[in-house]
Amino acid sequence: MSELWQGILRALELLVTFDPEVMAVTFRSLGISVTACIISALVCLPLGSLIHFTSFRGKHLLVSIIQTFYSLPTVLVGLLVFILFSRAGPFGDLGLMFTPTLMVIGQALLVIPLMLGLIISALASLDKTVADTAFSLGASRFQAGILALKEARYAVVTAVIMGFGRAISEVGLAMMVGGNIRGFTRILTTAISLETSKGDIELSLALGFILLIISLVINVVLGRLQQVRSSAAH
Amino acid sequence: MKNVKTILLSLLLSAAVIAGVAGCGSSDGSSIIQAQDRLRIATTTSLYDTGLWNALEDRFEQEQGIRLDILYAGTGIALEYGRRGDVDAVAVHAKATEEQFIADGYGIERVPFAYNYFVIVGPESDPAGIKGLSPEDAFKKLYETQTAFISRGDESGTHTKEKAIWKAAGFDYEAVTDSGAWYVEAGKGMGPTLQMAAEMEAYTLSDIGTFLAYKAETGLVTIVDSGSILLNVYSFIAINPDKVEGADAEKAQILVDFLVSDEIQQFIEDYGKADYGTSLFTPCAGNEPTS
């Protein structure tokens, strides 16, 4: 138990003293995952409403496939991205292997199925009359989509939070396509993994707590958004 | 509805700012989009776990003004990164594999820069009673007594050496891996494997450098440390740009010159003396050590 306590104290110490290396790793983690999350949201919000509002054959199958990808192992996505972007791979010429950029791409690939699936279910849980009313009042599909996303905001924001959670907490992909290079692609989770393997349990725990603190802040901010949006709507 | 948009927009903007800040912080102002102006090497885990590369990285970056990216990878995956063109050079320790790598045209030249020894380590009580035996006989006895042994199991240089010892002891390696639960394949780097051996009160094969760095923490002791088969040579190989497109042989050569320079060879010789009372590596400035 004293180890846990030491870890908390060390986390506070590192945060209060703005330890430069820890700050850099923390901001890098945050920057990569937030960027990946924004890209995913930009893809998933329109795509999710498009899938929801369009009837086509195999829609249920598509949704099932998307939901299957919720449990996609991060190392498998990592391996896929590695094969594609390694110099010997089809996108090797881009020279993105072992860069933060590729980590963003990988995390977006990881997050998109989860966010997309959750947005589709968020829209599906809406009362059907919402869209019908909008259409009957002459709304375009785009306008109806926006309206539906607003109506389902609580679940939609939850989808974004879940996506961010998956991005910031994963380690397999970051390790594989980022390479855990000190000062360049090392993020909180890969640093925890390395420090643990070096036997610095205290520092690992401290980094873990910092990761949790970040998630708390992000969740509070997004939770605020849910509340403000609902009070503005009523 | 207006303030909803404002909030959403400000959130997006602040996220973008965070991303921007993170980008700058991560690479000292240089581009995060691509990996140019950086020398990228993959190093065997044992060199990394001793902290040697961290120390060399700082010196190299200061003296040469080239950003050095170091990937932590066992010899097997390090050479694979090299073949695929994902790194400019590798620092590894598996002579036969390295020679094949160069014969295949992927590497320019094998430059040994330091060496030490492998040791068979285990719990102080030595449950299999292998102290004083040769490495080959020790392995034979471990097999006969089915005493827990942790193998790296990751095609690293250490793993390659372990297989060589099994072969020298007259075993078929496949048969060893299939012979029971006593033989554990960890699939981890050297440091984590030592931790695992300590947890499971098992034996393992380790390079002396990583072992000394982990000795206090794991409580393991050296059981077998003599035998010519235990020689462990670290060499540096620049990737051949004629075979692998995009490899930066020029910068890699700067690092080779740096590694075999008198000053750095002395640094390697002294490395770890203050912490462990003995040096972790013996420098060998480009020459193959014989004993």
Q: How many domains, in total, are found in chain B?
A: 2
Going by the DSSP 8-state scheme, the letter that residue B32 receives in this structure is: S
How much is the mean pLDDT over chain B?
87
Would you say residue B81 lies in a domain? yes
CB < 8 Å & 24+ apart, contacts of B279-283: B280/B50, B280/B52, B280/B116, B280/B208, B280/B209, B280/B212, B280/B213, B281/B52, B281/B114, B281/B115, B281/B116, B281/B209, B281/B234, B282/B114, B282/B115, B282/B116, B283/B113, B283/B114
Q: What is the pLDDT of residue A136?
A: 85
Domain that residue B178 falls in: 117-230
Dist CA B113 CA B259 (whole Å): 7
> Which strand (E) or helix (H) includes residue B205?
strand B203-207
Same domain, B49 and B109: yes
Cβ-nearest to A100 among B32, B72, B244 = B32
Q: How many CB atoms lie within 10 A of CB B125?
A: 9
Same domain, B137 and B152: yes
Q: What is the pLDDT of residue B201?
A: 92
Q: What is the pLDDT of residue B154?
A: 87
Dist CA A138 CA B185 (whole Å): 66
Give the ipTM of the model, two decimals please. Answer: 0.76
3-state SS, residue B202: coil
Same domain, B256 and B125: no
Dist CA B87 CA B43 (whole Å): 10
Lowest mean pLDDT among A60-69, A135-144, B269-278: A135-144
User: To the nearest whole percent, how much of chain A has pLDDT over 90?
Assistant: 59
pLDDT confidence band for A101 (50 / 70 / 90):
very high
Mean pLDDT, residues A163-183:
93
Same domain, B99 and B161: no
B125 to chain A, any CB pair closer than 8 A? The answer is: no
> Which strand (E) or helix (H) includes residue B204?
strand B203-207
- Measure in Å the smallest separation between the Cα of B290 and chain A Cα atoms: 32
A76 residue type, one letter:
L
Residue ranges of chain B whose pLDDT lies below 50: 1-2, 17, 21-35
What are the backbone dihedrals phi and psi of residue B231, each rounded to the nearest 5 degrees, phi first?
Answer: -60, 135
More confident residue, B116 or A139: B116
Homologous superfamily in CATH for domain A2-233: MetI-like (1.10.3720.10)
Q: What is the pLDDT of residue A95?
A: 87
Q: What is the pLDDT of residue B3?
A: 53
Contact flag A183-B27 (C-beta cutoff 8 Å): yes
Within 13 Å and on the Cβ side, how many CA atoms surround A135?
Answer: 8
Q: Which tokens in the block code for residue A214?
A: 């970040």
Q: What is the pLDDT of residue B5?
A: 52
**Which of B11, B12, B14, B32 to substitute to test the interface with A, most A CBs within 10 Å?**
B32
Contact flag A87-B18 (C-beta cutoff 8 Å): no
Q: What is the pLDDT of residue B16?
A: 53
Strand partners, B120: B205, B224
A62 residue type, one letter:
L
Contact flag A99-B32 (C-beta cutoff 8 Å): yes
Chain A partners within 8 Å of B191 (Cβ) = 197-199
Q: What is the pLDDT of residue B4?
A: 52
Would you say residue B139 lies in a domain? yes
Q: What is the pLDDT of residue B89?
A: 96
Would you say residue B174 lies in a domain? yes
Taking the mean position of all CA atoms in its chain, how far away is CA A182?
A: 23
Q: CATH number of the domain that B173 lies in? A: 3.40.190.10
Contact flag B71-A181 (C-beta cutoff 8 Å): yes
- Beta strand B231-239 with B203-207 is unpaired
pLDDT > 60? residue A89: yes
- Overall pTM surpassing 0.90 (yes/no): no
Same domain, B71 and B207: no
